[in-house]
Amino acid sequence: MNTSTSDPGHGCQAFKASMRAQWNTAATGWNAHGAGIHAWLHHSTEAMCRMAGVRAGARVLDVAAGSGDQTLTIAQQVGAQGYVLATDLSPAIVALARDNAARAGLAHVETRVADGEDLGVPEASFDAAVCRLGLMFFPDPLRGLREMHRALRPGGGVCTTVFSRPEKNPCLTILMSTALKHAGLPARDPFIPGGLLSLGQPGRIDALFRSAGFHDVATSAVDAVYRLPSVDHYLAFVRSSASPILQILGQLDAAAAEAAWVDMRERLMVFTTHDGWEGPNELLLTAGRRPLETT
Ligand SMILES: C[S@@+](CC[C@H](N)C(=O)[O-])C[C@H]1O[C@@H](n2cnc3c(N)ncnc32)[C@H](O)[C@@H]1O
């Protein structure tokens, strides 16, 4: 899983093949937990759409769209006069996004299997672009942002959502450190490209937006507490859809993996409340604009 932006060749392709395979496996689980994910991210998704400038009639590019939860929100906001293109690296998850849009009767949604670092869409063909919890998985996020910049018409807006600092996302750090410990692997630098928390370092994502050519760059940190009836509901979500954790535990035999899940459950119990279970998360919403005149 380790990669580096200084190795955009074979290493990147192998990394993406592994990422695609992981999300093909996790696609059904991510989709099955769609209602919980929607509730978890509803407020931040509304903010992301606002910050990108999604409005009635707009043409919107949705990068790393997964099974399309935010795609459907955007499609409702742009209405039948608008258009949404939902793209993702994983063919299995794109198929689910297509089915979900069709079931919702949203004929102005199209889907496409595409690497976010090489979208293959025409230059300046969208009014707005979003990427919800996807950009941190890109081995070269600057390349992904340059692609969004290229896809936007001059004056068009973008907004991405990523996880913030490790200490603000304790559930993720517990899951990751416990999985690595049980797999006999050393602790990982959380900011290594392509990891869950890779864009959480203060100032990092703003710098990438500016390097990609965006103006009016601004980041807001938003609390996104994952509220569920119990820790077991959270573990059910993680066990079926949290692809980075599954990838690590996939190297263990069944008994060793089960011991890791038991350990994680114990550590995650700390977030149990009177009303159920409340896992803290902090997200970074970063907005920018393609300038009207390229300088
Ligand atoms: C955590 S899911 C988020 C899905 C969706 N945006 C959501 O919030 O429900 C991350 C998604 O990023 C996609 N992804 C990872 N690397 C990608 C890349 N290089 N290009 C496009 N999509 C990618 C995965 O296939 C997966 O669907």
Q: Which helix (H) or strand (E) holds 70?
A: helix 69-78
**Which ligand 1 atom sits closest to the C-alpha of 134?**
12
Residue 48 CB–ligand 1 contact under 6 Å: no
Q: Is 23 in contact with 122 (CB distance < 8 Å)?
A: no
Question: How much distance in Å is there from the Cα of 275 to the middle of ligand 1?
Answer: 31
Residue 140 CB–ligand 1 contact under 6 Å: no
CA-nearest residue for atom 17, ligand 1, is: 89
Residue 33 CB–ligand 1 contact under 6 Å: no
- Taking alpha carbons only, the member of 13, 80, 59, 67 closest to residue 41 is 67
Residue 117 CB–ligand 1 contact under 6 Å: yes
Residue 147 CB–ligand 1 contact under 6 Å: no
Residue 62 CB–ligand 1 contact under 6 Å: no
pLDDT tens string for the chain (295 positions)?
333 344 445 579 999 999 999 999 999 999 999 999 999 999 999 999 999 999 999 999 999 999 999 999 999 999 999 999 999 999 999 999 999 999 999 999 999 999 999 999 999 999 999 999 999 999 999 999 999 999 999 999 999 999 999 999 999 999 999 999 999 999 999 999 999 999 999 999 999 999 999 999 999 999 999 999 999 999 999 999 877 888 899 889 999 999 999 999 999 999 999 999 999 999 999 999 999 975 5
pTM score, two decimals? 0.94
DSSP strand pairing (152-163 vs 126-132): parallel
Q: Could you give the CA distance from residue 243 to residue 67 in angstroms, rounded to a whole number?
A: 14
- pLDDT at site 250: 87
DSSP 281: -
Q: Could you give the CA distance from residue 192 to residue 176 in angstroms, rounded to a whole number?
A: 13
Q: Could you give the CA distance from residue 38 to residue 51 in angstroms, rounded to a whole number?
A: 18
CA-nearest residue for atom 26, ligand 1, is: 66
Residue 242 CB–ligand 1 contact under 6 Å: no
Q: Is 293 in contact with 173 (CB distance < 8 Å)?
A: no
Residue 121 CB–ligand 1 contact under 6 Å: no
Residue 37 CB–ligand 1 contact under 6 Å: yes
Question: How much distance in Å is there from the Cα of 100 to the middle of ligand 1?
Answer: 16
CA-nearest residue for atom 8, ligand 1, is: 132
- pLDDT at site 228: 96
CA dihedral 5, 92, 253, 13 (to 10 degrees): -20
Three-class secondary structure of residue 202 per DSSP: coil
Residue 89 CB–ligand 1 contact under 6 Å: yes
**Which ligand 1 atom sits closest to the C-alpha of 138?**
19
Residue 90 CB–ligand 1 contact under 6 Å: yes
Instruction: At 122, give phi and psi (nearest 5°).
Output: -65, 150
**Which ligand 1 atom sits closest to the C-alpha of 93?**
27
Q: Is 136 in contact with 63 (CB distance < 8 Å)?
A: no
Helices and strands per DSSP (H, E), number in the chain:
10, 10
Three-class secondary structure of residue 188 per DSSP: coil
Q: Which two tokens stand for residue 273?
A: 């409340």
Residue identified by tokens 């209405």 is: 79
To test the pocket of ligand 1, the residue of 87, 133, 169 to mutate (highest count of ligand atoms within 8 Å of its CB) is: 133
DSSP strand pairing (109-113 vs 282-289): unpaired
Which residues are bridge partners to 152 per DSSP?
126
- pLDDT at site 54: 98
Q: Is 229 in contact with 277 (CB distance < 8 Å)?
A: yes
Sequence-separated (6 or more) residues with CB below 8 Å from residue 41: 69, 70, 132, 133, 161, 224
CA atoms within 13 A on the CB side of 125: 12
Q: Is 282 in contact with 221 (CB distance < 8 Å)?
A: yes
Residue 195 CB–ligand 1 contact under 6 Å: no
Residue 172 CB–ligand 1 contact under 6 Å: no
